Amino acid sequence: MRFRIFKDIKRAFRSTGDRYPGAVRPLAQQTPRPYYYLGDNRALTQLTDGHFIYVDTRDETISPHLVARGYWEVWIRKVVTTLISEGDHVVDVGANLGYYTLALAAIVGPKGSVTALEANPRLASLLHQTVTFNGYGPRVKVLQQAASNEDGMLRFSLSAANAGGGHIFAFEQALGPKTEIVEVQSVKLDSLPLQQPKLIRIDAEGSEALILLGAERLLARPDIVVCMEWDVLQMSCRSDVSSLIDWLTGLSFRFWRITPQASLEEVQPQSLPDLPTCDVVLSRLPPLA
């Protein structure tokens, strides 16, 4: 395979705001790592943790960071990986290229499992290749499906230039003029033959409420922990956020915000509607106790 410089690598060094807070930036070292262009807008690169990951070279969001820096959202990853142990079973919804899937698979080990759902056909294919390349095939199951509150088919918006923005259809050209809309299979998490998961990780660009509604049986487990993106504006396009909070509170869940310092800060339910975009952890007990 011939080494090539990633044509969009310069994008990775644009201002990234709080996506890379100074408090956690030293966790990833800026050292040279392998990169191989494989054709068909596909490349293989190595992360700072040693895993290899396939990326789409057309992507202008996540892939450039994985190539240039070798990491993504390290403060969230640090917290997520403390929520599970060897032998646990995990569900990764909106797995994308597999950055979190790899980290989760490494921790649960051969006695645990990761079920990774990614609705975008292109990303699901790359994810499957990544899982296989890293030798995690026996413990990771990749499903090219969109988790939701119903089993069936639905419309899904995606963009080659915005791999991180794929989502259940909300309106036309949501990802710009090159938005593609495809039909994908939808599934309730409760419909899947899962092994008593300890953690459900969700990054679904506003569909989090629908996914949780399709996981009522799983959420009834007393020790279940959920880590999900919390974006009130996005979620409001598909659900009533106040009703979601009331429902989760009624299930005895408490809420913690993942801070840029990779710590957990408890948030009271009444403050959630005004919470800026972040990732939150839902648990009935302090998750890091």
Residue pLDDT, tens place only, 52-73: 999 999 999 999 999 999 999 9
pTM: 0.88
Reply yes or no on whether the pLDDT at 22 is more than 90. Answer: no
Tell me the average pLDDT across 7-28. 40
Checking if the pLDDT of 12 tops 90, the result is no
Topology of domain 9-283, CATH: Rossmann fold (3.40.50)
- Domains of the chain, residue spans: 9-283
Whether the predicted pLDDT of 6 surpasses 60: no
| Tens of pLDDT, residues 155-197 | 998 888 988 888 787 666 566 667 888 999 999 999 999 999 9
Tell me what pLDDT residue 31 has: 59
**pLDDT of amino acid 24:** 41
Q: What is the dihedral of CA 14, 17, 20, 26, to 10 degrees?
A: 80
Residue 15 has pLDDT above 90, yes or no: no
**pLDDT score at 170:** 66
Query: Average of pLDDT values for 282-286?
Result: 97
